[in-house]
Structure 1
Amino acid sequence: MTSTDDGETPPSATFVHCTSVYVRSIDERIKIPALITTLREVFGEYGNIVDVIAKKSYRRKGQAFVVFDSEDSAQTAIDELQGFEIFGKQMHLDFAKTRSDATVLREDNEEGFEAHKQHRLAEKERKQALIEAAEAKPAKRAAAEELAERPAKSTKPAQAAGVVPDEYLPPNKILFLRDLPEDYGQAALTAIFCRFTGFREVRTVPGRPEIAFVEYEDEGGAITAKESTGGMTLGEKAIRVTFQRQ
């Protein structure tokens, strides 16, 4: 895997014939190293692979790019592997909408590659600005809704000094998760917390991948889940699991 950052290919994109195959509908829970190894083995039957690109960020999960050294190899792979099942899901394949870095460097030399890279970075910054603007509105709305659900706080100084720490909040049916790894989205968290009786749903907060809420039908299921998952290590650190503040 390289540091190549090919853009995400939306369903409405106009695809061009090139040497890169865009792969989507991949199980998002699969670790990147295992995914890259599997794609190399599967696609390697149809030609020489120059690179396999997959990212663990939220917007890149469930997709990858396989770069061949020829358009014919890419076309054959698409024809033969369309709908082929890996990790329990059928792949959807198309030509990528842009050439990969490896392809540009091989075909256009260093000068062409630098121009390609500058254009890509400018486009990435433009898209990021649009995403941040779009995410700011629902994030503010979610914060306002959460605040509205809480009882009005007394303005008495004595009560302000007596706020109960999160770890000692009374049980209720909703858990509050913190310190989550960025690559653990709703699907991965659901796989962990659906094992406990009364599970209803996992709710994530746009723009805040490090926190989430898990709701159960009653306190009993939430208590069991909290006791079983509190301090669980996801990625490289332990997560914090408390009851939601009412």
Structure 2
Amino acid sequence: MSALTGGPPPSATVYVRNLEEHIKIPQLKEALTELFSEYGEIIDIIAKTNLKAKGQAFIVFDSIESAQKAIEEVQGFELFDKPMQLAFARTRSDASVKRTGDEDEFESHKRRRLAEKDKKKAAEAAEEQKRLKRAAPGVVPDVNARPAKASRGAGLKSTNAGAAAVIPDEYLPPNKILFVQNLPEEYDIDALTAIFGRFEGFREVRLVPGRRGIAFIEYETETGAISAKENTAGMALGDGSQVMKVTYQRQ
């Protein structure tokens, strides 16, 4: 069922609008990743800098169920002091089609998308010409005028009861268990013990069966976990290309 009455049919891609337009794209993508990764695996996040696409983004999940849950729970959540408006995307994303279909299906999808894009551009250009003709004589609208600069907020604040419990990883309160992500596939219990076992109160490393690249590290007290997190978060592993992410376990 679509999150909005009469809206697009369910898909694995969530359309997000009313985002703060003055936040840089890398910072925006990082914030969106932190927030939406709680609901499922994210395949891609699309956010662009051109004027018409500002304030919008697409979150591509690995399943429709994840997208549905994200829409239901994050609707109205304030990101950088602006309440987000969410809905299913009207079309499937390139990343979603490429992941689930073969090469021919992907190429066909891409051709249709580009054709629709060209058609939309042509319609917008025709409408703009009509608007200019209707303008008062001697008055030429400035189509390149920039909107007034909005005040920039910082951080996250929820106005939605369902979203209130969703806290990005970096804001989770300390506890005795660390959640470690982005580990090289070859890292086992011994390798992780060598990294985390040197901090006070170390108890054990727990790997997740069937899930590579993540682990839980438990300490006897929060003090040990805090020390370990502060000294290992952002550590480069393997050949240096993978940066380990260390946060507290979500309670």
Structure 1 position 186 matched with structure 2 position 147:
yes
Q: Distance in 1 between matches of 2:131 and 2:30?
A: 37
Quote how far apart the aligned CAs of 1:58 are.
2.1
Task: Report SS of the residue matched to 2:91.
Answer: coil
Task: Report SS of the residue matched to 1:186.
Answer: coil
Quote how far apart the aligned CAs of 1:18 are.
1.1
Quote how far apart the aligned CAs of 1:13 are.
7.1
The structure richer in helix per residue is 1
Structure 1 position 31 matched with structure 2 position 24:
yes
Q: Distance in 1 between matches of 2:133 and 2:146?
A: 20
Q: Distance in 2 between matches of 1:128 and 1:57?
A: 14
Q: Is the 8 A contact 2:75 2:84 kept in 1?
A: yes
Quote how far apart the aligned CAs of 1:97 are.
1.4
Task: Report SS of the residue matched to 1:66.
Answer: strand
Q: Distance in 2 between matches of 1:110 and 1:32?
A: 30
Task: Report SS of the residue matched to 1:74.
Answer: helix
The answer for the alignment partner of 2:126 in structure 1 is 133
The one-letter code sitting in structure 1 at the alignment partner of 2:125 is E
User: Out of 94, 97, 102, which is 2:95 matched to?
Assistant: 102
Counterparts of 1:54-93 in structure 2, within 5 Å, are 54-93=47-86
Q: Is the 8 A contact 2:7 2:87 kept in 1?
A: no
Q: Distance in 2 between matches of 1:15 and 1:76?
A: 16
User: Out of 85, 88, 112, which is 1:119 matched to?
Assistant: 112
Percent identical residues:
50
> How many residues in Structure 1 have an aligned counterpart in Structure 2?
147
The CA RMSD over aligned residues, in Å, is 2.6
The one-letter code sitting in structure 2 at the alignment partner of 1:118 is R
Q: Distance in 2 between matches of 1:61 and 1:77?
A: 21
Return closer, same or farther for 1:13/1:26 CA change in 2, 3 Å cut-off.
farther
The one-letter code sitting in structure 2 at the alignment partner of 1:40 is T
Ranges in structure 1 where 5+ consecutive residues have no aligned partner: 1-10, 148-176, 192-246
Q: Distance in 1 between matches of 2:135 and 2:8?
A: 36
Task: Report SS of the residue matched to 2:33.
Answer: helix
Ranges in structure 2 where 5+ consecutive residues have no aligned partner: 152-251
